[in-house]
Amino acid sequence: MKLRVNSLEYDLAVLPHRLLVDLLREDLGLTGTKRGCDDGSCGACTVLVDGKPRHSCLTLGRLVEGKEITTIEGVASGDGLHALQRAFVEKGALQCGFCTPGMVLTALPLLERVSLSEEEVREALAGNFCRCTGYTKIVEAVLSAAKARGRAP
């Protein structure tokens, strides 16, 4: 089957039981996507499927044929980090980094909103767990990236 990841098309033989997270990490070597809890609690495996954050560990590979997948490797362009990634660095919003790809991909669509409040950021990130920094700096990073675009106060 054909799998579209970060605007590249791959031809893969996919058995019915293979999960999207495994196709990304094992077949394509895109190990930025993390496997965490295996039951939808932690959000570490979040990728964008047709622009919406979904859990790649709860998604059968065959069922995303023809859809556009974005992983953390596809967020930056060229050598430069995406503004949201820069905001994470500047605000100190990561420590061990395990939850960061999921956090960034969950927050990315929020930047398209007309306006963004702190409460909305907290609600959107509620299903992504961080066990190091706490959430204050992560929320600050997302708000500062939104502010840079004129979308948050």
Partner 1 sequence: MLAEGFDLHRPSSVAEALEFAGRFPGEFRYLAGGTDVLPGLFHGLGATRHLISLQDIAELRAFVPEEGRIGAMVPLGTLAESPELRARFPAVAEAARQAASPNLRNSSTLGGNLLLDTRCTYYNQSAFWREALGYCLKNGGEECRVVQNRERCYAAYCGDLAPSLLVHDARIEVAGPKGRHLRPLKDLYDPQADGRTPFRLGPGEILLSVSLPHEKVRSTYLKLRARSAPDFPEASVAIALTLEGKKLRELRVAASGVATVPLLFEDLTLPLIGHAMTEEVARDLAEKVSRRLHPVTNTAFPPDYRKHVFRHFLMSGIHELQSGTH
Exposure string (b/e) for 38-77, b if CB count within 10 Å is 16 or more?
Answer: eeeebbbbbbbbeeebbbbbebebbebeebebbbbbbbee
Kindly indicate which of the ranges 40-48, 70-78, 90-98, 132-140 contains the residues binding partner 1, using the contact rule CB under 8 A.
40-48
Work out whether 89 is an interface residue with partner 1 (CB under 8 A). Answer: no
CA dist., res. 19 & res. 93, Å (int): 29
Q: Return the structure tokens found at 25.
A: 């990490």
Query: Of 22, 26, 28, nearest to 6 (Cα)?
Result: 28
In the complex, the smallest distance separating the C-beta of residue 18 from partner 1, rounded to whole angstroms, is 8
User: Which of residues 128, 141, 142, 145 is near partner 1 by CB under 8 A?
Assistant: 128
Alpha carbon 6 to its chain centroid, in Å, reads: 12
User: Which of residues 10, 26, 38, 132 is near partner 1 by CB under 8 A?
Assistant: 38
Work out whether 40 is an interface residue with partner 1 (CB under 8 A). Answer: yes
Closest to partner 1 by CB, 31 vs 86, is 31
Report the site for partner 1 in 45-74 (rule: CB under 8 A).
46, 49, 52-55, 58-60, 62-63
User: Which of residues 10, 26, 41, 90 is near partner 1 by CB under 8 A?
Assistant: 41
CA dist., res. 65 & res. 100, Å (int): 26
Q: Which residues are paired to 69 by β-bridges?
A: 5, 49
Binding site for partner 1 (CB under 8 A): 15-19, 38-41, 43, 46, 49, 52-55, 58-60, 62-63, 106, 123-124, 126-128
